[in-house]
Amino acid sequence: MSLLNAKGQNDSVSPDLLVSGWFDKIAKKSNQPMKKALVTGASGFIGSFLVEHLLAAGYQVKVIIRTSSSLEWLADLDVECLYGRLDDRQLLERAVRDVDYIFHLAGKTRAQTDRSFYEINYKLTKNLLEIVSRSNPGLKKFTYLSSFAAAGPSRTIDPVTEEDSPAPVSSFGKSKLATERLFFNNPPVFPFVILRPALVFGPRDRVSLQFFRLLNKSVIPQINGMDHYVSLIYVKDLVNALLAAAESEETNQKIYFVAAPKAYSVSELSRLTLILLGKKGFRLHVPHKFLAGYANFKNVLHGFFKGQGNLNSDLVNELKYSFWICSSAKFQEELPFSEFHSMEESLQETIDWYSGYGWL
């Protein structure tokens, strides 16, 4: 394995103290042979936490990284790094050949066209499954990270469950649902599990950062003058769930929602965050039409300037719906998983990390 350092340095102490502290607490010693895992999307927000968690659990970890990806969160982690793209079949064959577990997190969450979502989320997953079936049919488990968006919002305050018929409302969600169906329409020869996480937040996340920045300026956003209700999952709880699901035979060939036990209204979540920030807030009513117009304007700008912000037409379409509540009761019943951080602790750790890195 090779030791990665994104800055070309060999610093023994990471400045990411909160993450390091969590990493140290879960570190384990074992005399058993090391299990090997491949992680796609490892340089991202969730993927980087998963890599740390796997290393702490005694895994050898292999990652596929695009040459354009930042290694900021993987610096100084003892992982085997393969540089290339997920559409490189020869690279994938080398990557999957000798691993016990695969965690497929890579995907596109923002795109200008429906085709872009399907090219990445659907086709690349299809190619990966075909290559694993041919090159490593004895794989112990393939874990696919889907999304709540694949199921679509709840129509009332009653949570969506795995038994409900999916009804995605965004192009992203539709591409994720199509990808889920790949596993069942043409089942692979190896075990798999699919997780649909609720809204994920935590250190390193640039999407939920926008919410924290608004509250740090005492602004409580309210779309169309209505409250929204959401299920959430702290990133550290999600990576715990990913590993627990991968290692359990109970989860084979199943789909699970993963979310904290309690759902929150945006107002309640805002009040709790403002208390932790030590601030008072005021409500800002934002018409949905304004958000839609702003997102469309950004789409036009995208044609002239490289890059894309976190707010786009697809996300704005999801914001029309007031209830994004799911139940993870099935997951908690079938796995003895009760390691959820409290919402207060999760928010405080996130705020402290954002502040420490100068993001707030």
Task: Report residue 322's pLDDT band, with 50, 70 and 90 as the boundaries.
Answer: confident
> Right CATH number for 2-202+230-263+326-342 from 3.40.50.720, 3.40.50.2300, 3.40.630.10, 2.70.98.40?
3.40.50.720
Beta strand 229-230 pairing with 219-223: unpaired
Q: Is 193 helix (H, G, I), strand (E, B) or coil?
A: strand
User: pLDDT digit string (tens) for 205-259?
Assistant: 998 998 999 999 999 887 766 788 999 999 999 999 999 999 999 999 999 999 9
Q: What is the mean pLDDT of the chain?
A: 84
Among 42-56, 153-167, 238-252, 272-286, the minimum mean pLDDT is found in: 272-286
Task: Report residue 75's pLDDT band, with 50, 70 and 90 as the boundaries.
Answer: confident
CA-angle at 162, arms to 150 and 122, nearest 5°? 30
The model carries a pTM of: 0.86
Is residue 26 over pLDDT 70? Answer: no
Beta strand 78-83 pairing with 2-3: antiparallel
User: pLDDT digit string (tens) for 104-161?
Assistant: 999 877 766 778 888 888 999 999 999 999 999 999 999 999 999 999 999 899 999 9
The residue among 64, 276, 104 whose CA lies nearest residue 190 is 104
How far apart CA 285 and CA 223 sit, in angstroms, is: 6
Between 137 and 291, the more confident residue is 137
SS (H, E, C) 214-267: HHHCCEEEEECCCCCEECEEEHHHHHHHHHHHHHCHHHCCEEEEECCCCCEEHH
Place of tokens 């996300």: 315
pLDDT at 1: 36
How far apart CA 293 and CA 114 sit, in angstroms, is: 19
pLDDT at 286: 67
Amino acid identity of residue 204, one-letter, is R
pLDDT at 310: 52
CA-angle at 152, arms to 149 and 153, nearest 5°? 110
pLDDT at 49: 97
pLDDT at 308: 44
